[in-house]
A and B are shown apart, each in its own frame.
Chain A
Amino acid sequence: MAIVIIGAGQAAGQAAASLRQEGSDEEIIILGDEPHIPYSRPLLSKEYLAGHESARLYLRAEKFYTDKNVTMRTNTRAEKIDTAAKTVTIEGGEVIEYSNLLIATGSRARILNIKGSDLGGIFYLRTLDDVDAIKDAMAPGKKVVIVGGGYIGLEVASVAQTNGMDVTVLEAADRILQRVTTPEMSAFYDNLHTSRGVKVLTNTGVSGFEGEGTVTHVCCGDASIEADMVIVGIGIIANTELASEAGIECDNGITVDERCRTSAEHVYAAGDCANHPNPILGRRLRLESVPNAADQARVVAANIMGKDKTYAAVPWFWSDQYDLKLQMVGFSADGDTQVVRGDKSENKFSVLYLKDGALVAVDAVNCPADFMGGKALYGKKLNQDGLSNPDIPLKDLVLSE
């Protein structure tokens, strides 16, 4: 018997580490379908794609897993979970028994299935191997068309533009970042990319691709855009099939409770694939974020060790584009009022979002102090006089209850 973890991403690596920190000496088996040990996925579309290898990509050195009696089985796809027999069957038919199971299967890139979408030169960005292929194909002067104006698409656009490529971003909605931020922030980022020379086309859905073997044109209705390569970033899909086929409850992700327990005994889920309750936000959600994956993994490890820990964290995110670091706390859509602090034209400002006077989200551009303030002061009522003055620290504006 062993503690089995399906998936070898951030949640898996953290869960193994936390189990050892919590004192577990049981064997841990990590089953990952990629050829790699757990690595930092956020770096892929940022530093790693840009070729800055200052930060280490692998979360822990390979030696960590052998030293800590964690069996890392890469290139190993789990095919079936049997919650009654408490087993996982892997590709090839081997059956592994578990004492406790963590489903940390993450998510996969949403694939376009339209005319010409199987041509060469069309890339998705989700895994390390994906990015290695993209890096090989990128070269100054080449035309790259990016389908999707979300964070992945825009991070790639900034790297490609900085590398001297001819960059076009196509967004089907009427603004980039439409799913994740306000019209004001969308306009700021649209302007940022446009000012650097990226062509940003909104209200532009892709109808197909043309080329002989390799893509040469992207079709958008009647229009056709030349492309040497295409990178598609149109969102991700939670990997819930293994769980749902095992009869585990799923609803926009694998349904878990505040202890990250699924509907099956001794089966937990964490990370992108887990739909969880957030007591601070007062609702269920599924998050595509590293801090969420790591925090949930810590909760799972504690609960496996009988420590009764619940998950309650304010979500936070970050995105690097050009020399701008965007750090976000909470969800701007939760606010009823917004206040801008700082100077947008200097690329150094934050937007605070309040609901009934209480802070519910912060978008901080090159303003890490406001990001940290947002994490610390989430839910606190703030004095709105002075809020727009970036020289007054947020903590000095907290109103006593």
Chain B
Amino acid sequence: MTKITFVKHDGEKFEVDAENGTSVMNAAVDNLVPGIDADCGGECACATCHVYVDETWFPKTGGTNDAEEAIMSLNPDRQETSRLCCQVPVTDEMEGLVVRLPEFQF
């Protein structure tokens, strides 16, 4: 289990235990973190699991892949550390990861 903290746009925090081998999106959905819709189920097809990774953590998530880059390119809420969290695997190295949620999913 790996501890991940989701911070809503209004500052409310959700600290969850995520199972290694799943995705950060799975951890959010399993723990009723509001604001992660994840409609496509993790196929990188819908961009409804957008998060901002804490700056110090961003490199450890491996950075965005091409599919994410393309689908987020039009998102007005896009920031430098944006990720689609269905594309971020949960590993031991992620212990303590902090991600913030945008106010709206696209």
Contacts and interface: CB of A to CB of B under 8 A. Distances in A.
Contact of A40 (B30, B34, B41, B106): B41
Contacts of A372: 47, 71-75, 106
A21 B74 contact: no
Interface string B65-106: 001001111110000000000100000000000000000001
Interface string A288-313: 00110011000000000000000000
B43 A318 contact: yes
A290 B74 contact: no
A294 B37 CA distance: 9
B41 A42 contact: yes
A42 B42 CA distance: 11
B15 interface: no
A106 to B, nearest CB: 16
A84 B29 CA distance: 36
Nearest to B45: A318
B30 A60 contact: yes
Contacts, number: 77
Interface string A314-329: 0010101000010100
Given A21-B32, A59-B29, A394-B74, A368 B40 contact: no
Contacts of B42: 40, 55-56
B20 interface: no
A369 B70 CA distance: 6
B23 interface: yes
Interface in A24-47: 40, 42-43, 46-47
Nearest to A57: B41
Contact of B22 (A43, A56, A316, A327): A56
The 4 closest A-B pairs by CB, nearest first: A40-B41, A368-B71, A55-B42, A368-B70
Contacts of B47: 368, 372
B46 to A, nearest CB: 7
Interface in A342-369: 367-369
Interface residues of B, number: 26
Q: Secondary structure of the B side of the interface?
A: loop
Given A55-B42, A290-B39, A290-B40, A17 B74 contact: no
Interface-centre pick from A56, A64, A295, A327 (highest chain B CB count, 10 A): A56
Interface in B13-50: 19, 22-23, 26, 29-30, 32, 34, 37, 39-43, 45-47
Contacts of B43: 42-43, 46-47, 55, 318, 320
Given A61-B19, A369-B70, A327 B45 contact: yes
24 contacts: A17-B29, A46-B43, A56-B22, A60-B29, A61-B26, A290-B39, A318-B40, A318-B45, A320-B43, A325-B67, A327-B45, A367-B70, A368-B47, A368-B67, A368-B70, A369-B73, A369-B74, A371-B71, A372-B72, A372-B73, A372-B74, A375-B106, A376-B106, A395-B74
A120 B9 CA distance: 55
A25 B35 CA distance: 20
